[in-house]
Structure 1
Amino acid sequence: MQAQRPEGPDSGDRAKPKRTRWLVIVAAIAILAVAAQGIWSRRDAHAALEREAEHTSQMSVEVVLPRKSSGGFNLVLPGNVQAFLDTPIYARTNGYLKKWYADIGAHVKNGQLLAEIDTPEVDDQLRAARADLANANANYALAKSTADRWTEMLRTKSVSKQETDEKVGDMLAKKATLDAARFNVARLEKTQSFQKVYAPFDGTVTARNVDVGALIDAGSSGGPAKELFHVAQADRLRVYVNVPQGYAQQVRAQQSAYLTLTETPSRHYPGTVARTAGAVDPQQRTMLVEVDVDNRGGELLPGAYAQVHFELGAGAAPYTLPGNTLLFRPDGVKVATVDAQHRVKLLPVSLGTDFGTRVAIVSGLHGDEQVIVNPQDSIVDGAPVRIVPRGAEGGGASGAAGANGSAGASAANGVSGAMSATSVACVVGMAALPARANPDARKQS
Structure 2
Amino acid sequence: MSNSNTITLPLPRRHHLLLAAGAAALALGAWTVTARVAAHAAHAALAETAQSAAIADVIATTPQPGPATEDVVLPGEVKGDNETTLYARTSGYITRWTADIGASVQQGQTLAVIASPELDQQVRQAEADLRTARARAAVAQTTARRVAGLVSSQAVSVQENEDRSAAAIATTAEVAASEANFARLRQLQGFERIVAPFSGTITARRIDIGSLITAGDTQGTELFRISRTGRLRTYVDVPQSYAAQIRASTPAELDFPDRPGQHWPAQVTRTALAIDPASRTLRVELDIDNAGHALFPGSFTEVRFHLAPVGHGLRLPANALLFRAEGTRVAVVGPDRRAHLRAITLGRDFGTAVEVLTGLAPTDRVIVNPAAALEEGDPVRLVALHHQPAGA
Residue in 2 that maps onto 1:115: 112
Q: How far did 1:263 drift?
A: 1.8
Residue in 1 that maps onto 2:271: 275
Larger radius of gyration: 1
Determine helix, strand or coil for the equivalent of 1:92: coil
Residue in 2 that maps onto 1:380: 375
Structure 1 distance, partners of 2:152, 2:328, is 105
Determine helix, strand or coil for the equivalent of 1:278: strand
Residue in 2 that maps onto 1:350: 345
Match of 2:73 among 52, 60, 76: 76
Contact 1:65 1:369 in 2 (8 A): yes
Q: How far did 1:286 drift?
A: 5.1
Unaligned runs of 5+ in 1: 1-31, 392-445
Q: How far did 1:229 drift?
A: 1.4
Q: Which has the higher strand share?
A: 2
Residue in 2 that maps onto 1:419: none
Determine helix, strand or coil for the equivalent of 1:210: coil
Q: How far did 1:49 drift?
A: 5.5
The number of aligned residues is 354
Match of 2:88 among 85, 88, 91: 91
Say if 1:370 and 1:224 are closer, same or farther in 2 by CA, change over 3 A.
closer
Alignment map for 1:409-428 (pairs within 5 Å): none
Unaligned runs of 5+ in 2: 1-29, 387-392
The amino acid of 1:190's aligned partner reads: Q
- Between 141-150 and 235-244, report the one with greater CA deviation: 235-244
Q: Does 1:139 align with 2:136?
A: yes
Q: Does 1:321 align with 2:342?
A: no
Q: How far did 1:244 drift?
A: 5.8
Alignment map for 1:283-302 (pairs within 5 Å): 285=279, 287=281, 289-296=283-290, 297-302=292-297
Say if 1:178 and 1:315 are closer, same or farther in 2 by CA, change over 3 A.
same
Q: Does 1:217 align with 2:196?
A: no
Structure 2 distance, partners of 1:158, 1:387, is 129
Say if 1:320 and 1:304 are closer, same or farther in 2 by CA, change over 3 A.
same
Q: Does 1:333 align with 2:328?
A: yes
Contact 1:243 1:289 in 2 (8 A): yes
The amino acid of 2:281's aligned partner reads: M
Aligned-residue CA RMSD in angstroms?
3.5
Structure 2 distance, partners of 1:323, 1:67, is 13
Q: How far did 1:62 drift?
A: 1.4
Q: How far did 1:312 drift?
A: 4.1
Alignment map for 1:396-407 (pairs within 5 Å): none
Q: How far did 1:300 drift?
A: 2.4
Structure 2 distance, partners of 1:46, 1:138, is 133
Say if 1:227 and 1:250 are closer, same or farther in 2 by CA, change over 3 A.
same
Say if 1:280 and 1:377 are closer, same or farther in 2 by CA, change over 3 A.
farther
Contact 2:87 2:218 in 1 (8 A): no
Structure 2 distance, partners of 1:295, 1:94, is 39
Q: Which has the higher helix share?
A: 1
Residue in 2 that maps onto 1:124: 121
Q: How far did 1:390 drift?
A: 7.9
